[in-house]
Chains A and B, each alone.
Chain A
Amino acid sequence: MAAVRDETATARTIVIDVPGWPGHLAGQHVDVRLTAEDGYSAERSYSIASAPPDGQARSQTVELTVQRLPDGEVSPYLTQTLQVGYPLELRGPIGGWFVWDPDGPAAAAPVLLVAGGSGVVPLMAMIRERAAVGSHTPFRLIYSVRDPTALLYGDELVRRERAGDGLEVRYVYTRTAPAGSGQPTGRINAALIASAGWPPEESPAMFACGPTGFVEAAADLLVRGGQNPGAIKTERFGPTGGKA
């Protein structure tokens, strides 16, 4: 591990130097394997948060943002024990479905990203990739979090949205909205998806990621709103949803 950044009280970004990293697509994940001295090992999948490294760059780094789970086996190690300089065993990149490829056939279609909690991580890789390659594909992000302290990448999202080059972010707070904002709290609903998303006629590409209940709700709302089910890609996150 080359560097570390705390994102929230319970989430940390770890920057890993991976010699010979073959590159990845935004949205892909890696498998992380931890091994104890007696050979016992545990593996989990984590989404890559960083845009694919530039082919010219000398250092090949991969960033993972890990949300610490209270009852986790791997996430407490990655967020609390792992120190700069420690080795880490990775496998990847993995997954060829939940990806946004700026060189792919659908790269010009407007994009809707729907994030629940730490489900924003692979979607952030897409936002960063869009910026890194100078894409003008319009992106809209609906980002549902418990409260402002749980926001990942809060400052970066504000900065990127202010750049005014086609990224729009709508925040949804389920428990506590920012003090003084007057914004109501609640969950994503049909009206919000309609106003913060794209009309079906625009044939958007849609990516929803978060805990199972959130992703099920988001995908159902999109389908009921007239979107093409085949254009909605989902990834479940959570304590046992595979990735967390």
Chain B
Amino acid sequence: MGIVSPGFSGRRRSAGEKLPPGQYLVNDFPVLSAGPTPRVDTGRWELRITTETGQVHRWDWAAFQALPAEEPIVDIHCVTKWSKLGTHWRGVSLDTLLDGVETSAGFATAKSYGGYTTNLPLADLVDGQAWVAFDFDHEPLDPEHGGPARLLVPHLYFWKSAKWLQGIDLSDHDTPGFWESLGYHNYGDPWREQRYWGD
């Protein structure tokens, strides 16, 4: 237990076991970005998966939209301590996108329009754990929330769910991404409160 704050009782909420340590519930959808919101026209949009051997798999918007989509309902947890429960998305599973991609890579770097990057083990993108999402709450995803399409990896802190997704590079090596190079945890498991370096 930390240092007791005299006179503090707090405002407990009954989120129960659904809230990871140090998180609090919100009902709106806060925006956190490091820079301006890129405006990406779906007419010029392309998603690229590049393997460790340099093989490139591409989808334009029409090809991407033609893939079978899923409707995950998931809890999301931001490292700045807000959590939002039961969020409703529509997106293409990474299992679908990686079907037919030949790789033995252990790591992935998600890259965004605008230059953002984030790294995660490839194992965290497969087996029904991750999507490339394009609808939120039955509406096309707003640019400020990462539209036209963003990565959705809800079991990790939300900075891993790269907005404005442009591509995923697969590699044998783990390379820290944008926040991971600036003091934030390399893996980012909210249940183990892996917020910063050293956690």
Please list the residues of chain A having a beta carbon within 8 angstroms of any beta carbon in chain B. Answer: 33-37, 39-45, 73, 77, 81-83, 86-89, 91, 94-98, 212, 216, 219-220, 222-223, 229-230, 232-234, 236, 238, 240-243
Within 8 A of A (CB), among B1-53: 1-12, 22, 24, 26, 28, 30-38
Q: Among B1, B6, B114, point to the contact of A86 (Cβ < 8 A).
A: B6
B155 CB-CB contact with A under 8 Å: no
Are B8 and A96 interface neighbours, CB within 8 A? no
Determine how close the nearest CB of chain B comes to the CB of A2; give it in whole angstroms.
16
Q: B78 at the A/B interface (Cβ < 8 Å)?
A: yes
Task: Name the residue of chain A whose CB is nearest to the CB of B37.
Answer: A216
Question: How many residues on B have C-beta within 8 angstroms of the other chain's C-beta atoms?
Answer: 38
Known: A212-B30, A219-B36, A234-B34. A34 touches B8 (CB 8 A): yes
Docked Cα-Cα span, A97 to B180, in Å, equals 11
Q: A77-B7, A229-B114, A240-B26 are in contact. Are A234 and B35 (CB under 8 A)?
A: yes
CB neighbours of B8 from chain A (8 A) = 34-36, 77, 81
Inter-subunit contact B4/A35 (CB<8 Å): yes
Contact of B30 (CB < 8 Å), options: A39, A230, A234, A241: A241
Would you call B196 an interface residue if the criterion is a C-beta within 8 Å of the partner chain's C-beta atoms? yes
Neighbouring B residues of A39 by C-beta, 8 Å: 1
Interface centre among A39, A88, A96, A241 (most CB of B within 10 A): A241
Q: Chain B's nearest CB lies how many Å from the CB of A230?
A: 7
CB distance from A70 to the nearest CB of B (A): 12
Q: How many A-B residue pairs have CB under 8 A?
A: 117
Q: A220: which B residues are within 8 A, CB to CB?
A: 36-37
Contact B28 A36 (CB under 8 A): no
Known: A81-B7, A82-B5. 14 other contacts (CB 8 A): A34-B5, A35-B1, A39-B1, A41-B10, A41-B22, A45-B80, A86-B5, A86-B6, A88-B3, A88-B5, A89-B2, A94-B183, A216-B31, A242-B81
Residues of chain B with a CB closer than 8 A to A73's CB: 10-11, 24
CA A98 to CA B178, docked complex, whole Å: 12
Chain A residues within an 8 Å CB radius of B31: 212, 216, 236, 241
Is B182 interfacial (CB-CB < 8 Å)?
yes
Q: Are B30 and A242 in contact (CB under 8 A)?
A: yes
B3 contacts A89, C-beta separation under 8 Å = yes
CB contacts (< 8 Å) of B3 on chain A: these are: 35, 87-89
Shortest Cβ gap from B119 to chain A (Å): 16
Interface residues in B97-149 by Cβ distance below 8 A to A read 114-115, 144
Within the complex, the shortest CB–CB distance from A216 to chain B, in Å, comes to: 6
| Contact yes or no, B22 A43, CB < 8 A | yes
Determine the distance from Cα of A91 to Cα of B72 in the docked complex, in whole angstroms: 35
- CB pair A234–B33 under 8 Å, yes or no, is yes
Question: Does B82 make an interface contact (CB < 8 A)?
Answer: yes
Instruction: Check if A233 sits within 8 Å of B30, measured CB to CB.
Output: no
What chain A residues lie within 8 Å of B12 (beta carbons)? 40
Query: Which residues from chain A contact B78 at a C-beta distance below 8 Å?
Result: 242
A125 vs B6: C-alpha distance in the bound complex, in angstroms?
29
| Min C-beta distance of B102 to chain A, whole Å | 34
The complex places the Cα of A53 from the Cα of B57 at a distance, in Å, of 51
B26, B28, B35, B183: which has the most chain A beta carbons within 10 Å? B35
